[in-house]
Amino acid sequence: MSRKIVALATFGAGCFWHPQQVFDQLEGVSGTWVGYTGGTKENPTYEEVCQANTGHAEVVHMEFEPRVVTYETLLDIFWQIHDPTQLDGQGDDIGSQYRSAIFTHDEYQARVARESKTEKGTSGRWLRPIITTIQPAPTFWEAEDYHQKYMERLDHRSWMSDLFIKRKKK
């Protein structure tokens, strides 16, 4: 019997509901949680994060099986589901909590994230420079229960969730 190897990935890509929905559907992603990281306040609440004085970003934090889905694949999806050139916001969601950020869990992820950012930045896809930050993952604070699997509970599928082919088998 082979042992399942699990790794972590954490991304800030605007409001955390849609990214969670997208990553949840991928084969090889064994769990996702939305929450806050990158700031100074311990165990922040949604209201505190929205006041933009905690320094935290809204993020999707996930466990994945690298033998099934690679970190590189997760990064490719991360770049597709948000605008990494918009400073402190995504669309109409404005504030530093909605920033584009990659929080890495080891040196391998840091290197691959930097390489991916450079590659995407020179791809010609965006007219403005990519401003996504890349930093070691600090403590992840899980968001309140009512934020977890929010889109799933609404039975709402966003356009983003239709972009990816390698879905979990039902």
Q: Is 88 left (phi over 0), alpha (psi -120 to 50) or beta?
A: left
Catalytic residue among 9, 15, 60, 81: 15
Instruction: Show the tokens assigned to 24.
Output: 């949840």
What letter represents residue 115's amino acid? E
The maximal CA–CA distance of the chain, rounded, in angstroms, is 49
Catalytic (active site) residue 50: no
Instruction: Show the tokens assigned to 86.
Output: 């918009």
The whole-angstrom separation of Cα 96 and Cα 41 is 14
Residues with catalytic roles = 15
